Amino acid sequence: MVKKLIIKSTTFGSFILHYSITLLIIFGLISSSKVEAKTRHLKWEVKYEFKSPDCYKKLVMTVNGMSPGPTIMAEKGDMIVVEVTNGLLTENLAIHWHGIRQIGTPWADGSEGVTQCPIVPGDTFVYLFAVDQPGTFMYHAHYGMQREAGLNGMIHVSHPKGQPEPFTYDFDHSILLTDWWHKSTYEAATGLSSLPFVFVGEPQSLLIQGRGQFNCSLVNSPSDPDICNATRPDCSPFVLTVVPGKTYRLRIGSLTALSALSFAIEGHNMTVVETDGHYVESFDVQNLFIYSGETYSVLVKANQDPSRNYWATTNVVSRKPKTPTGLAIFNYSPNPPLQTPPTIPTSGPAWNDSVPRMAQSQAIRARKGFIEPPPATSDKLIMLLNAQNNNSGHIYWSVNNMSFTLPTTPYLVALKEGKLRGELGRIFDHGAPPDGYDWVNYDIYNPPVYPSVTFSNAIYRLKFDTTIDIVLQNANSLTKNNSETHPWHLHGHDFWVLGYGNGKFDPFKDPSKYNLVDPILKNTVPVHPFGWTAIRFKANNPGVWLFHCHIESHFYMGMGIVFEEGVEFVGKLPSSIMGCGETKGLINP
Amino acid sequence: MVKKLIIKSTTFGSFILHYSITLLIIFGLISSSKVEAKTRHLKWEVKYEFKSPDCYKKLVMTVNGMSPGPTIMAEKGDMIVVEVTNGLLTENLAIHWHGIRQIGTPWADGSEGVTQCPIVPGDTFVYLFAVDQPGTFMYHAHYGMQREAGLNGMIHVSHPKGQPEPFTYDFDHSILLTDWWHKSTYEAATGLSSLPFVFVGEPQSLLIQGRGQFNCSLVNSPSDPDICNATRPDCSPFVLTVVPGKTYRLRIGSLTALSALSFAIEGHNMTVVETDGHYVESFDVQNLFIYSGETYSVLVKANQDPSRNYWATTNVVSRKPKTPTGLAIFNYSPNPPLQTPPTIPTSGPAWNDSVPRMAQSQAIRARKGFIEPPPATSDKLIMLLNAQNNNSGHIYWSVNNMSFTLPTTPYLVALKEGKLRGELGRIFDHGAPPDGYDWVNYDIYNPPVYPSVTFSNAIYRLKFDTTIDIVLQNANSLTKNNSETHPWHLHGHDFWVLGYGNGKFDPFKDPSKYNLVDPILKNTVPVHPFGWTAIRFKANNPGVWLFHCHIESHFYMGMGIVFEEGVEFVGKLPSSIMGCGETKGLINP
């Protein structure tokens, strides 16, 4: 019930009152409205450990010794308190709660440089936030390129007990998909900044729930003969054991650093019922396409020949795959869990056929009975050209030819703290980033004619409570006949997905094709090769919010922007988010 | 002349006056006493880059793109200002100025956790200190195990112009010796903390002035065939070109992470004339033994057959070597610099013969005419048993069975800042660490009977201006018939080396053998296997100072202690050293 309370309170009048209150009052609201609401108190230590997720031994960034980290299990309306201790030796840290809107707690979003200073080694930082929507969410490191070092996990927020969901199932399981390199994230990042540019290459493995199987015969390391060992139990395939006849809800999330994926369970249909915390008008797929930052719930019925096991597979799409199929076992009880299925695992749909991927995107609509209609019109349109750039040998990604850089002082503190407000121009670039690009003349089907780029940490300051339309426009990269899929993730909001198209978006014609009837709400959406994607959101969550390509290297190379809205309604900032850049002197212990 | 001024001012009365003044006044003293004194302003950016110091491509922590970093060239009395910008992506940083006593500037010592908070990415920290003694010093990272990632370099402080040195030479050159691994420091550190313990192994290479030559035929990496490439120019041997008949001062420093070394120039004698900034009563060696943290100046005359080149070699001693000889070329002009000498490089003296190493240690005396006699007696004796420990599978190093851990709040700030003084017990352990061990009964020739250990960050609080004797007592490690050489480095001071001995030090008998006549002053000294080393220092430099084994993994595993002396005379701390642990709220911008 908290969700409705909060939504009601977003009418402007009561808003000021609502958001200037402290978290204690949020607690109060929850406990008064819903006696079952709980506070879930978690203590996490993050450190490096040697692990062999795909049989190859490597340092992995773990939470309490695990990667993926523990799944946060909660019920709608709960407060989550995560005490994160940085047990790394010399590296800082920040953790983002992906899909949690952080209403009333914008400082808990975990975006280093945007909402907080990084957590230094030895420090403990407390993330405190409400999970106000049921659904499937995730968490991951949000600092440098640490996400691909293994700090990731899932958040299951269940419906309040006694309130039935619009579909039924017998069991509920998580499957987190990631891609995995044998080189460190530091090597990956340094290569991206090097001259000449050094690409770390395609991932060595795809991991299903943290497990993959690299072909150790490709490794020859006389100095460390045990570096790859296919007999290690931690790289035996992930097994999902099912009872014949039962129905399973699989909560599938992707936190790949680079790869767009297809996912299939041999011989079984999957019925898509939820994405990013919102119910989908259900439809069946054999292959689920999933992009980094997305979650899907699918229902799978164990209705096949129970005398054998089946492959669950994941494959790269949208980039020419050099990574073997990721494998897990869909195990019919009581067959032995690791009994190899008698078939050859599929290599998935054609990597370069974007038609079925576009079709899946367009098939996703809000479920009848759960439609939250969007505002009929918007107050502002921002068109974002997705481009790749080349500046004297360095490669960048940009939107509207602006490549994003993070400031050393988090925007949220810079904007809120009176002492800093006179110095904003010193903390980040003045002025507004461009709302569009030369859409009439720009040729999206060829590499950019002018590949040079501007660097900026300027932000979009949105008028509070207005409705914003964003059109993501894809284009050719620096390579001829190439356009990459970019999954864009918005912090602090869900947005309505109004439409997808091929080619260049025409702001005069294409809005007429928008789906204003039953658009799905999501927090992450792909823009397909040479295509466009249109989304709408209400700028009604006071705070400062990243919107960025969820491919880790693309964001590192500048593919992101930042929105500010209603920062004047943000409550007193906890000083725990301060301590870096210009915020050093602001902490009052 | 600054040195004398400062030494005079260490009588207690004038001390308070002296040390409560600010750095500006130090500037004033220098400029009034010596008009030539300069301020040397350096701007450094630290970042990771791909380098191939031994032909194997690896991330290296560089200063302005270099490893070793730029040599700081200064003259006695100069002020050094180093603006260090942390250009790493997610790692913090601190830089120690090894051998610089930081008189009046204890906050500039660069020991993370002791004198400062780490420098976070994007921040610029200004180190400002005087170089008040001529001689050969070094700098290196002092945070986590970053030193072995390549952040190191040398500091040459020359005699004031017009004041002749007690020996002559034509040219002056640096040679920094390091050991080098192909695995990252993060892997090395994680292994040390893992259960079971994982040792990163002996170094792959020894580097002479940042260059080594790994045998690339040992590497087979189909996925990255260029990872080791012997034709890369950055791993061609270091060449020291000499003119026949000329005399060269070679300033040799060691910043190895693990290895004790011998160093030789084929066919040439080396005359030892300086160590750690103090003149040595000169003596000749064919092999110079050098331990991590030490510097030596040697004079070498180019007096051999000039028609060919000669090998300069470095080899591991004191551990069974698994690392090939490090090679450089002593090139007689005009022979081609890289012309291979016609001989086979020496593999150096027997690694396990400690007799010549002990002999070199004992041969080092202060040069006549430059003897600064030690106080005749000491006020306090601290005996430090060097032991290896095993706690439920984890391995530690300890002194007096106490394994040192760093607090998250730097001691210097904790002790100086009034707001924190009531909370000292929360910041670091109360009480004094033990001044000795059960020397009567402890068997130094066998592994410890009770290998368990106490963890502590308690410190020794020394009475100001008293004279302290330290006896380092070596012992058997956890391995039978094994005792490792530990090079101990004291921050903030030079100490007199009173004596070395074999076996167990007897506090009733052995002090009578101390050399009180011409002991050398040093800042780093080895304790030889199964032996002892006695040193004396005046606790007259207000501040908080580490004393630790300079083997990076040993310090990481607990082999260190901390002294506080006269912290009440330390001037106002710069807030730039704060921002971590309990010091977050103390910064006044």
B501 compared with B586, residue with greater pLDDT: B501
Tokens (6 digits) for B429: 């352990």
Whether the CA torsion B7, B8, B13, B19 is positive or negative: it is: negative
Contacts of A133 (CB under 8 A, 6+ apart): A3, A76, A101, A157, A277
User: Per residue in A117-161, pLDDT tens?
Assistant: 999 999 999 999 999 999 999 999 999 999 999 999 999 999 988
Q: Which pLDDT score is estimated for B425?
A: 76
CB interface of A with B, residues 514-533, below 8 Å: none
- How distant is the Cα of B50 from the closest Cα of chain A, in angstroms? 7
Q: CB–CB of B194 and A49 under 8 A? A: yes
CB interface of B with A, residues 139-168, below 8 Å: 143-146
pLDDT at B423 over 50: yes
d(CA B331, CA B352): 31
Q: Which pLDDT score is estimated for A219?
A: 86
SS3 A410: coil
> How far is C-alpha A494 from the geometric centre of its chain's CA atoms?
12
pLDDT at B462 over 70: yes
Q: What is the mean pLDDT of residues A288-294?
A: 98
Residues of A in contact with B186 (CB under 8 A): 48, 59, 89-90, 184
- Listed in sequence order, the DSSP H helices in A177-328 are 185-193
Interface check A77 vs B, CB under 8 A: no
User: Per residue in B316-344, pLDDT tens?
Assistant: 999 999 999 999 999 999 999 999 999 99
d(CA B249, CA B169): 6
End-to-end Cα, chain A, rounded Å: 35
Range with lowest mean pLDDT among B126-135, B264-273, B415-424: B415-424
- How distant is the Cα of A123 from the closest Cα of chain B, in angstroms? 7
pLDDT at B61 over 60: yes
Instruction: Give the one of B90, B143, B581 whose C-beta lies nearest to A144's C-beta.
Output: B90
- How distant is the Cα of B91 from the closest Cα of chain A, in angstroms? 4
> What band does A425 get if pLDDT is binned at 50, 70 and 90?
confident
d(CA A201, CA B235): 25
Q: CB–CB of B89 and A48 under 8 A? A: no
Interface check A582 vs B, CB under 8 A: yes
CB interface of B with A, residues 303-362, below 8 Å: none
Q: Which pLDDT score is estimated for B26?
A: 46
Contacts of A135 (CB under 8 A, 6+ apart): A99, A157, A274, A276, A277, A278, A295, A297
Q: Of B78, B249, B119, B104, give the one whose Cα is nearest residue B172.
A: B249
Q: What is the mean pLDDT of residues B514-541?
A: 98
d(CA B338, CA A11): 78
Q: Are A403 and A557 in contact (CB under 8 A)?
A: yes
Per-position b or e across B527-550, b if 16+ CB within 10 A of its CB: bbbbbbbbbbbbbbbbbbbbbbbb
pLDDT at A35 over 70: no
Residues of B in contact with A191 (CB under 8 A): 50
A118 φ/ψ angles, rounded to the nearest 5 degrees: -70, 155
> What band does B589 get if pLDDT is binned at 50, 70 and 90?
low
Residues of B in contact with A93 (CB under 8 A): 90
Q: Are B397 and B554 in contact (CB under 8 A)?
A: yes
Residue pointed to by tokens 């991206």: A192
d(CA A424, CA B235): 47
Q: For testing the chain A interface, which of B90, B120, B197 should be mutated: the one with the most A CBs within 10 Å? A: B90
Q: Are A63 and A93 in contact (CB under 8 A)?
A: no
Q: CB–CB of A218 and B218 under 8 A? A: no
- How distant is the Cα of B528 from the closest Cα of chain A, in angstroms? 30
Tokens (6 digits) for B295: 């510097």
Q: CB–CB of A220 and B220 under 8 A? A: yes
Q: CB–CB of B408 and A575 under 8 A? A: no
Half-sphere CA count of B560, side-chain side, radius 13 A: 26
Taking CA atoms, A423 is separated from A330, A418, A532, A577, in Å, by 57, 10, 38, 19
User: Per residue in B186-235, pLDDT tens?
Assistant: 999 999 999 999 999 999 999 999 999 999 998 877 778 889 999 999 89
pLDDT at A382 over 70: yes
d(CA B579, CA A584): 7
Interface check A222 vs B, CB under 8 A: yes
Q: Are A508 and A562 in contact (CB under 8 A)?
A: no
Interface check B120 vs A, CB under 8 A: yes
Contacts of B140 (CB under 8 A, 6+ apart): B95, B96, B98, B147, B151, B152, B153, B255
* Percent of the residues in chain B that have a pLDDT greater than 70, as a whole number: 94
Residues of A in contact with B204 (CB under 8 A): 223
Residue B60: its H or E element: strand B58-63
Contacts of B7 (CB under 8 A, 6+ apart): none
Q: What is the mean pLDDT of residues B539-559?
A: 98
Tokens (6 digits) for B469: 């004797």
User: Per residue in B360-403, pLDDT tens?
Assistant: 999 999 999 999 999 999 999 999 999 999 988 899 999 999 99
Contacts of A448 (CB under 8 A, 6+ apart): A387, A388, A389, A475, A476, A478
Tokens (6 digits) for B392: 């439920």
Whether the CA torsion B411, B412, B414, B415 is positive or negative: it is: positive
Q: CB–CB of B90 and A146 under 8 A? A: yes
Q: What is the mean pLDDT of residues A417-427?
A: 80
Whether the CA torsion B162, B163, B165, B166 is positive or negative: it is: positive
Category of B411 on φ-ψ map: left (φ > 0), alpha (ψ -120 to 50) or beta: alpha
Q: What is the mean pLDDT of residues A515-536?
A: 98
> What band does A420 get if pLDDT is binned at 50, 70 and 90?
confident
- How distant is the Cα of B29 from the closest Cα of chain A, in angstroms? 32
Q: What is the mean pLDDT of residues B10-39?
A: 46
Q: CB–CB of B90 and A92 under 8 A? A: yes
Angle, alpha carbons B56-B58-B64 (nearest 5°): 120
Average per-residue pLDDT for chain A: 92
**Among chain A residues, CA nearest to B576:** A584
DSSP 8-state class, residue A363: H
d(CA A491, CA B116): 35
**Among chain A residues, CA nearest to B181:** A223
Q: Are B451 and B478 in contact (CB under 8 A)?
A: yes
Interface check A245 vs B, CB under 8 A: no
Interface check A574 vs B, CB under 8 A: no
Chain A to chain B Cβ contacts (< 8 Å) = 127
Interface check A194 vs B, CB under 8 A: yes
Q: What is the mean pLDDT of residues B531-537?
A: 98
Strand segments, DSSP code E, in A337-475 are: 380-391, 394-399, 402-404, 454-456, 460-462, 467-473
Tokens (6 digits) for B124: 């610029």
pLDDT at A498 over 90: yes
Instruction: Give the one of A144, A585, A589 whose C-beta lies nearest to B589's C-beta.
Output: A585
Whether the CA torsion B117, B123, B127, B128 is positive or negative: it is: negative
Maximum distance among all Cα pairs of chain B, rounded to whole angstroms:
71
Interface check B585 vs A, CB under 8 A: yes
Residue pointed to by tokens 């230590």: A45
Interface check B125 vs A, CB under 8 A: no
Q: Which pLDDT score is estimated for B587?
A: 77
**Among chain A residues, CA nearest to B124:** A581
d(CA A144, CA B387): 39
Maximum distance among all Cα pairs of chain A, rounded to whole angstroms:
71
Q: What is the mean pLDDT of residues A439-461?
A: 96
pLDDT at A523 over 60: yes
**Among chain B residues, CA nearest to A59:** B187
> What band does A8 get if pLDDT is binned at 50, 70 and 90?
very low
Instruction: Give the one of A48, A186, A201 whose C-beta lies nearest to B190's C-beta.
Output: A48
Q: Which pLDDT score is estimated for A131?
A: 98
Residues of A in contact with B222 (CB under 8 A): 218, 220
Contacts of B181 (CB under 8 A, 6+ apart): B148, B188, B200, B201, B203, B204, B257
Q: CB–CB of B50 and A190 under 8 A? A: yes
Half-sphere CA count of B275, side-chain side, radius 13 A: 32
pLDDT at A579 over 50: yes
Q: CB–CB of B123 and A580 under 8 A? A: yes
Interface check B198 vs A, CB under 8 A: yes
- How distant is the Cα of A135 from the closest Cα of chain B, in angstroms? 32
Angle, alpha carbons A464-A466-A472 (nearest 5°): 115
